C-alpha cells in the first residue's frame, strides 16, 4: 500500500504494465476465437456468416470455411467437380451459389451434409446428367436453378423428398420430354421455368401436359413450353394444344400391347434359302419356313391430316343440317299450300241434290264446249 501523497516506485509501474499487457492479450485471444477466420482469398462479413469467393478463378472450394457460414458464393470460378466432403462442416449453410462454372458431374453425396439448405444455384454449368438421389438430403430446399446446362432427361425420383420446393428453373437445356411422375411429389411448387428446350409434343409429353393443366389450375406459374416438333405445332405453346390431338396415342398403345402378346416364332432370315434337290425315297416332312414375313409399314400420324379431317367433317355436318332445314321448310310450305287448296276446293264443290249447283255446272260445261 502506498502512503497518501507518495509516488509509486518504478517496479510498481512495471508490474502494473505487465498486468495490463496480459489482460490485453487475453482479450485479443478471446476475440480471435469468437470471430471465425475468413479463408484466403475470399471475403467475409464481420461475423463470417457470408463468404464470398466469386470470380477468383478457384478450381476447388476452400477447405477452411467457417462452420457458422450461412451463405457461400462460388460463382464465376473454374470448378469442374466437387470433391467428397467439400461442405462437410457447413451444416448451417442456407444458400449455395455454384453458377457460371464448369461442373460436368456431381457426386451422389455432394450435398449430403446440407440439411438446412434453402437455395441452390447451379445455373450455367456443363451438367449432362444428375443422380436420382442427389437432392434427397435437402428437405428444406425452396429454390433450385438448373438452367443453362446440357440436361437431356431427369431421372425418376429426382425431386422426391422436396416438399418445400417453391421455384424450379429448367430453362435452356436439352429436354425433349418429361415424366409426370417426376413432378408429382412437388405439391408446393409455385414457379416452373421450362422455356428454350427442344420439346417434342408427342405421346411422350401427353401425361406431363395433364400435370401442367393441374399445376395451372391450382395457381402455379409457367413461363412457356413451346413445341419444336412436329412441324405442325412448331412454336405453339403446349398448353394451347387440345387433348384431342393426342387421341392417336391410345391407338398406338393398343397396337403395341397387342403386338407384345403375339407368340414369337423362329428367327427369320432376310434371304430364304434355296430349296434342296429332292432325293429318291419317301417324301420328307416339310420344314418350317424361316423366311421373314412382310411387315406392314406403320403409317405416320399427321397432325395436319387430323385437322383436315375435323374441318371436312364439320363442313359435311353443316351442309347436311342446312339441307335438313331446307327440306323441313319445303315440307311445311307444301303442306300449307295443299291445305289451302283443299279448303278452296270444298267451298267450290256443290252440295248433293242442289239444282242451282247442277245448273251452274251445266253452264260451265256449255261454256267450255
Edge-to-edge strands, sheet with 50-52: 43-44, 50-52, 71-73, 95-97, 119-121, 143-145, 167-169, 191-193, 221-222
| 38-46 average pLDDT score | 87
pLDDT at 52 > cutoff 60: yes
Task: Tell me, yes or no, whether 237 lies in a domain.
Answer: yes
Q: Which of 4-13, 99-108, 304-313 has the lowest mean pLDDT?
A: 4-13
356 by DSSP, 3-state: which? helix
* Range 280-308 average pLDDT: 52
Please determine, for residue 315, whether its predicted confidence score (pLDDT) is greater than 80.
yes
pLDDT by residue (tens digit) across 245-260? 777 777 776 666 665 5
Q: In which domain, by residue range, is 229 found?
A: 36-248
Whether the per-residue pLDDT at 289 is higher than 50: the answer is no
Q: Is residue 220 in some structural domain?
A: yes
What is the average pLDDT across 207-227?
92
Mean of per-residue pLDDT scores for the chain: 80
Per residue in 134-188, pLDDT (tens digit) is 999 999 999 999 999 999 999 999 999 999 999 999 999 999 999 999 999 999 9
113 found inside a domain:
yes
pLDDT higher than threshold 70 for residue 272: no
- pLDDT of residue 291 exceeding 50: no
pLDDT at 297: 45
Rounded to whole angstroms, the Cα distance separating 192 from 144 reads 10
Domain assignment present for 101: yes
**Contact between residue 127 and residue 151 where contact means Cβ atoms under 8 Å apart:** yes
Does 116 fall in a domain? yes
Q: Is the bond preceding 230 in cis, omega lying within 30 degrees of 0? A: yes
242-251, 264-273, 324-333, 356-365: segment of lowest average pLDDT: 264-273
Identify whether 314 is part of a domain: no
Query: Can you give the pLDDT at residue 97?
Result: 97
pTM as predicted: 0.62
- Say which range, 19-33, 91-105, 296-310, has the weakest mean pLDDT: 19-33
C-alpha gyration radius of the chain: 44
% of the chain at pLDDT higher than 70: 69
Residue 325 domain flag: no
Name the H helices within the chain. Answer: 10-34, 180-183, 206-217, 247-260, 303-348, 355-368
Report the domain count for the chain: 1
C-alpha cell at 178: 418429361
The pLDDT value given to residue 83: 87
Closest among 156, 167, 228, 218 to 192, alpha carbons compared? 167
Q: What CATH code is carried by the domain that includes residue 96?
A: 3.80.10.10
Amino acid at each position: 500500500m502506498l502512503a497518501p501523497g507518495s509516488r509509486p516506485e518504478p517496479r510498481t509501474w512495471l508490474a502494473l504494465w505487465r498486468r495490463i499487457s496480459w489482460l490485453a492479450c487475453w482479450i485479443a485471444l478471446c476475440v480471435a476465437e469468437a470471430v471465425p477466420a475468413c479463408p484466403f482469398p475470399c471475403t467475409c462479413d464481420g461475423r463470417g456468416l457470408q463468404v464470398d469467393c466469386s470470380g477468383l478463378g478457384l478450381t476447388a472450394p476452400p477447405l477452411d470455411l467457417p462452420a457458422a457460414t450461412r451463405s457461400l458464393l462460388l460463382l464465376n470460378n473454374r470448378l469442374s467437380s466437387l470433391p467428397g466432403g467439400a461442405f462437410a462442416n457447413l451444416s448451417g449453410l442456407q444458400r449455395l451459389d455454384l453458377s457460371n462454372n464448369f461442373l460436368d458431374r456431381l457426386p451422389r453425396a455432394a450435398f449430403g451434409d446440407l440439411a438446412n439448405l434453402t437455395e441452390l444455384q447451379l445455373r450455367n454449368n456443363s451438367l449432362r446428367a444428375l443422380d436420382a438421389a442427389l437432392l434427397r438430403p435437402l428437405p428444406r430446399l425452396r429454390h433450385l436453378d438448373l438452367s443453362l446446362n446440357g440436361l437431356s432427361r431427369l431421372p425418376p425420383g429426382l425431386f422426391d423428398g422436396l416438399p418445400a420446393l417453391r421455384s424450379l428453373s429448367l430453362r435452356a437445356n436439352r429436354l425433349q420430354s418429361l415424366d409426370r411422375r417426376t413432378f408429382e411429389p412437388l405439391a408446393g411448387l409455385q414457379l416452373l421455368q421450362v422455356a428454350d428446350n427442344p420439346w417434342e409434343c408427342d405421346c411422350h409429353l401427353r401425361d406431363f401436359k395433364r400435370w401442367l393443366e393441374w399445376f395451372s389450375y391450382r395457381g402455379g406459374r409457367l413461363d412457356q413450353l413451346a413445341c419444336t416438333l412436329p412441324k405442325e405445332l412448331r412454336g405453339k405453346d403446349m398448353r394451347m394444344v387440345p387433348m384431342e390431338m393426342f387421341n392417336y396415342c391410345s391407338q398406338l398403345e393398343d397396337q403395341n400391347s397387342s403386338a407384345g402378346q403375339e407368340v414369337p416364332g423362329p428367327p427369320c432370315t432376310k434371304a430364304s434359302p434355296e430349296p434342296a434337290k429332292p432325293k429318291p425315297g419317301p417324301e420328307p416332312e416339310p420344314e418350317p419356313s424361316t423366311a421373314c414375313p412382310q411387315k406392314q409399314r406403320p403409317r405416320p400420324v399427321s397432325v395436319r391430316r387430323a385437322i383436315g379431317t375435323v374441318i371436312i367433317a364439320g363442313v359435311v355436318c353443316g351442309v347436311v343440317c342446312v339441307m335438313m332445314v331446307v327440306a323441313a321448310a319445303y315440307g311445311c310450305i307444301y303442306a300449307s299450300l295443299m291445305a289451302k287448296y283443299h279448303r278452296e276446293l270444298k267451298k267450290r264443290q256443290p252440295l248433293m241434290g242442289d239444282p242451282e249447283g247442277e245448273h251452274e255446272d251445266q253452264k260451265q260445261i256449255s261454256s267450255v264446249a
